Amino acid sequence: MDEADRQLLRRSRVRLVSELQVAELWDVLVSRELFTPDMVEDIQHAGSGTRRDQARQLVIDLESRGRQALPVFISCLEDTGQDALASFLRTGRREQALEAIRVPPLVPLELGPLGLKAEKPMMGKRDLSAAVVTPPENLSPVVLGPKELCSAKLRPEVLRPVDSASGGFGVQGRARGDTDLAYVLNADPCGHCLIINNVNFSSDSGLSTRTGSNIDCEKLQRRFCLLHFAVEVKSDLTAKEMLLALEELARRDHSTLDCCVVVILSHGCQASHLQFPGAVYGTDGWPVFIERVVNIFNGTGCPSLGGKPKLFFIQACGGAEQKDRGVEVASTYSEDSAAGHSPEPDATPFQGGPRTADDQPDAVSSLPTPSDILVSYSTFPGFVSWRDTQNGSWYVETLDCILGQWAHTEDLQSLLLRVANAVSERGIYKQIPGCFNFLRKKLFFKT
């Protein structure tokens, strides 16, 4: 969908959710091939299944239905007698087109690779090194091997406790023995771990084979077995099959277990969201929203996991092929050098973006509380996530190594800080993992 249509749809969301008569639309949406019958069924079961929930999900999913999705949707509205909404959207499109003619597009200013310097920022009483724009293009990408990742070069000193009074951020967790504010993981196995590994995509999806993902899958399968999880792997699932697998996991009885882990390895994209950004693709090329994945395990969908940590690890791109060249900083790291390796991005075009203020009042009204949830992303939203065809993805390779070396002494948040620091040091094109953390306590894995 064009960005202009996407923005119009978001500005109109409150009215659409309020007035849209979805029951009359289903057959027309399928007959016009805007949605498949399975997709319509998923929308009908969104949230509590009310008309408003269905309308909201329909408007959100519409953004991923291609360049002609909005005009076809307007025609569907006219076919079902919803002329007021159709006219409202058509008028909005015409006004946008006229505005684009009146205001010529701005030409972006391209800055050279050298010469820009940033002032030294302050963090409490400590100066950070001056930053400069990235080095010239002729430098080759480089990759850290597992030995280097696990070596002392990971600089554990960056995770030392910092006095908050001095303006520091990110205090490392206390010793494992201090359990006054830690989740209890005594069960054995301590929980289920589902790994969805999408490697081969249908030819009409436009998505490439994710060479190297099987290496990621094997590493994480072995690692979470060592962390006392019952691991199950499902490979090459369509979007519908992904949702069915996740719903089946949520329906299980977790009352005797202490935790649950979901890992998704696939291509990804940006998507409209309220709390958790991004989407991952099924092998048929249809997106599954991360927010929907997480909400399958909320208190309503999975009551036996109430109050227990639910962890999601997402190895996928956050959006279009926007490559982060980074900035130069003082570092003790040597340049990565691994000849013959072929980093690839798990990237696809933008499919959405952050919500706007226009849809916020309606959107927030029915959100579940996302307690005891952590979603770890391989990259910052809007940037690519690099995958080496021989060694697997940077994120998973580093995560596996960090868990192997530090999981017996450090809590999950400290481990993910180490992962972010190590991945950020790799190659010319940069990548920075991050997470959305709604855990109430520290989490120490069972080792």
pLDDT tens readout for residues 88-115: 998 888 887 777 665 555 555 544 444 4
* Ranges of CATH 1.10.533.10 domains, the chain: 3-102
DSSP secondary structure of 231-283: EEEEES--HHHHHHHHHHHHHS--TT--EEEEEEES-EE----SSS--EEE-T
SS3 305: helix
Q: What is residue 106's predicted lDDT score, i.e. its pLDDT? A: 54
What is residue 430's DSSP assignment?
Answer: B
201: left (phi over 0), alpha (psi -120 to 50) or beta: beta
Contact between 289 and 279 under an 8 Å Cβ cutoff? The reply is yes
How is residue 366 written in tokens? 């029915």
Computed over its alpha carbons, how large is the radius of gyration of the chain? 23
Q: Residue 272's pLDDT is what?
A: 73
Q: Could you give phi then psi for residue 343, rounded to 5 degrees?
A: -65, 135
Look at residue 145 in the predicted model and tell me its pLDDT: 47
Looking at the domain covering 3-102, what would its CATH class be? Answer: mainly alpha
Neighbours of 304 (CB within 10 A): 14
Kindly write down the DSSP assignment for every residue of 329-392, as one continuous string: ---SPPPP--TT--EEE-----------GGGHHHHHTTPPP-TTEEEEESS-TTS--EEETTTE
Q: Where in the chain is the domain with CATH 3.40.50.1460?
A: 142-437
Q: What is the DSSP code (8-state) at residue 117? A: B
Q: Confidence band (pLDDT; 50, 70, 90) for 444?
A: very high
More reliable by pLDDT, 264 or 172: 264
> For the range 23-29, what are the long-range contacts, defined as Cβ-Cβ under 8 Å and sequence gap of 24 or more?
23/51, 24/80, 24/81, 24/82, 25/58, 25/76, 25/77, 25/80, 28/76, 28/79, 28/80, 29/73, 29/76
What letters, b where the CB count within 10 A reaches 16 and e where it falls short, cover 64-90?
A: bbeeebbebbbbbbebbebeebbebbb
Question: What pLDDT score does 6 carry?
Answer: 83
Contact 172, 432 (CB under 8 A): no
Point out the least confidently predicted range of 43-47, 54-58, 223-227, 334-338: 334-338
Active site residue ranges: 267, 317
The CATH class of the 142-437 domain is alpha beta
pTM for this one? Answer: 0.56
> Mean pLDDT across the chain, nearest whole number?
75
287-344 per-position pLDDT tens digit = 999 999 999 998 778 889 999 999 999 998 654 444 333 333 343 333 344 445 556 5
Q: Confidence band (pLDDT; 50, 70, 90) for 41?
A: confident
User: Which of left, alpha, beta for 421 (phi over 0: left; psi -120 to 50: alpha)?
Assistant: alpha
Give the pLDDT band of residue 216 (cuts 50, 70, 90): very high
155: left (phi over 0), alpha (psi -120 to 50) or beta: left
Please name which of 239, 259, 261 lies closest in space to residue 194, comparing C-alpha atoms: 261
Question: Is pLDDT above 60 for 166?
Answer: no
The answer to whether the CB of 414 falls within 8 A of the CB of 346 is no
Contacting residues for 327 by C-beta, under 8 A, at least 6 apart: 118, 131, 132, 133, 134
Dihedral sign computed on CA atoms, order 171, 173, 178, 180: positive
Cβ count within 10 A of residue 337: 13
Q: What is the pLDDT of residue 148?
A: 45
The CB density around residue 17, as the number of other CB atoms within 10 Å, is 23
Cα(408)–Cα(82) distance, integer angstroms: 60
Task: Please state the φ and ψ torsions of residue 386, each to the nearest 5 degrees.
Answer: -85, 140
Q: Say yes or no to pLDDT of 405 above 90.
A: yes
φ/ψ of residue 281, rounded to 5: -95, 140
**Torsion (CA) 174, 176, 179, 180 in degrees, nearest 10:** -10
